[in-house]
Copies of this chain bind each other. A is one copy, B any other.
Amino acid sequence: MKVFQNGQIITEVEGWDRGLQFGDGLFETIRIANAKPVALDYHGARLNAGMSRLGFRTESEAKLIIIDTLAALLGDTSEGVLKLIVTRGDSARGYRPPEQSDINVTAFFSALPSYPDEYYAAGIKIGFCQTQAAIQTQLAGLKHLNRLDCVLAASEVANKNGEWQEGLMVNDLGFVIEGTMSNVFAKIGNEWVTPKLDRSGVAGTMRQRILNNSSLDVLVRDVAKSEVANVSAMFVCNSLIGIWPVAELEGKKLAVPNEITSLINQWQSAEF
């Protein structure tokens, strides 16, 4: 594991970093293949949108932050995962953002995780977590550092001791939002849908790539938990795992239709 900050190799960050104090920051988890960031445009766009929505005072452009950090980090390593944390900078106690402060960029590089082939071929088992996805419209969609809901939900999955490979999160309004570390797509009746993320959730880059570039037609709408009875197929996705079909949802077996298999083939052949 290597930790970098603002272009320097470090092992520690300032105690006064607002990321630690308040979760006042954003992050991106980027797959690095052949020494290049995969889906750079998507990660850059989300990070830019986040810095803008949170009102960070910086002249830095997200894509350049990613490229520069990767260049400082890589050396001989050409495959792995770049985790980039961008915070509002350091400040004294108190929520109010400091008038003068540039962002802090902290970077972590680690090996690419590997998952069993069967997750992609046969699918995974999932269920509903008790932990709610937080509701906050100004933050919805951003990959910000306020992730306690995901942490608690991921603990629930861990406590299933391998019975589940992922868990679904629902918000206080009863809408299905996402997996603990993934976005979710479901076939309800004859239609593929994925949850609207205007109140809760992280708008994943793989979700957006599927919406923009895949052969699947998907309706983005609110999905009530009560609709789950009508779900005939489902998959989850993120930038590291790619796409996993869901073989079992809360004990109910789901088919893995051709649409999902084609989508996985399309993704693996790097068409999007």
Point out residues on A near B: beta carbons under 8 Å.
1, 3, 5, 10-24, 27, 29, 54-55, 81, 83, 85, 87-88, 92-97, 106, 108, 110, 130-139, 144-155, 157-158, 171-172, 180-181, 199
Contact = CB atoms under 8 A, between A and B. Distances in A.
Contacts of A110: 92-93
Given A132-B136, A138-B152, A155-B97, A19 B16 contact: no
Given A85-B21, A95-B147, A15 B13 contact: yes
A223 to B, nearest CB: 18
A156 to B, nearest CB: 10
27 contacts: A5-B15, A13-B13, A15-B108, A16-B108, A17-B20, A20-B20, A21-B27, A22-B150, A23-B23, A24-B147, A24-B148, A54-B148, A54-B151, A81-B93, A83-B93, A88-B151, A95-B147, A95-B153, A96-B154, A96-B155, A96-B157, A96-B158, A132-B136, A132-B137, A133-B136, A134-B135, A138-B149
Given A22-B151, A150-B95, A180-B95, A134 B136 contact: yes
Contacts of A88: 151
A158 B97 contact: yes
Contacts of A93: 29, 81, 83, 108, 110
B172 A136 contact: yes
A199 B181 contact: no
Copies of this chain: 2
A171 B136 CA distance: 8
Nearest to A136: B134
A168 to B, nearest CB: 14
Contact of A97 (B17, B130, B135, B151): B151
Contact of A106 (B20, B135, B145): B20
Contacts of A81: 93
A14 to B, nearest CB: 6
Q: Which 10 A-B pairs have the closest CB atoms?
A: A23-B23, A146-B146, A12-B12, A95-B154, A3-B15, A135-B135, A134-B136, A22-B147, A20-B20, A96-B154
A225 to B, nearest CB: 15
Contacts of A135: 132, 134-136, 171-172
A149 B95 CA distance: 10
A21 B85 CA distance: 8
